[in-house]
Structure 1
């Protein structure tokens, strides 16, 4: 069964998402990061390439030639061939087929609009019978 983790109250979504991507990468799992648009995708890509002072998180766009050998794919939609088993959803939509992933990470900022979207998604996942876990990140540094 798909596990869904909601990380709420995140002060810096991009930094948090980079750390989450790094964690999935280190576990040698395959990750799909869905972003709302091309501008957000490019900004997140730059953040991954410069994540650490002496390191980076290797990744590519889902349709790049090197995608089959990459563990992290970036996309602006969910309509991609099967591949990654973990979804980091930074987009504005909910996946059409959440059960296609073993785990879904939903990152929720401190903004009311983000919280409202998260409440809707939470209810939808709950109605579909998914295993949901909540992590309050509002006190995290």
Structure 2
């Protein structure tokens, strides 16, 4: 059963995902990053290469032959992802990730627009109905809600 954390009000959800992935990798953890589409995946890929000057975050796209050996995987919600590991899933898409149950932790990153908040509320309700442990944080202030 995964722990579920919601980070609401993110100014830049992709930048927050880069920060979380960088910190997780630095502590030896493996991360799956789930984005809505191919454009978001390309943007996140580029951001990970340049997010921190002194940090290197090895990452590949889901389905890559190197995915099983790579600690950070980028997958798209519009294409089925076969995640090679199940430690942390960062979801930036508007739907409930298929197979989220097998991860130890699910982090939902929600932006500031109503278009992002409405589906996030539905996901919160879904996880709550599943009796999953939920926590909510303000992404800007970095404090629990």
TM-score by length of 2: 0.89
Aligned residues: 140
Go from structure 1 to structure 2 and tell me whether the alpha carbon gap of 1:79 and 1:55 turns closer, same or farther (over 3 Å shift).
closer
- Structure 2 segments unaligned to the other structure (5+ residues): none
Matched-pair contact (CA < 8 Å) for 1:58–1:70: yes
Residue 99 of structure 2: which of 97, 120, 135 is its match? 97
TM-score by length of 1: 0.91
Aligned runs of 1:109-124 on 2, under 5 Å?
109-124=111-126
Note the aligned Cα RMSD (angstroms): 1.5
Residue number in structure 2 paired with 1:41: 41
Matched-pair contact (CA < 8 Å) for 1:35–1:91: yes
- Structure 1 segments unaligned to the other structure (5+ residues): none
Runs of 4+ in 1 over 2 A off after TM superposition: 53-56, 137-140
> In structure 1, the residue corresponding to 2:134 is in which secondary structure?
strand
Residue number in structure 2 paired with 1:106: 108
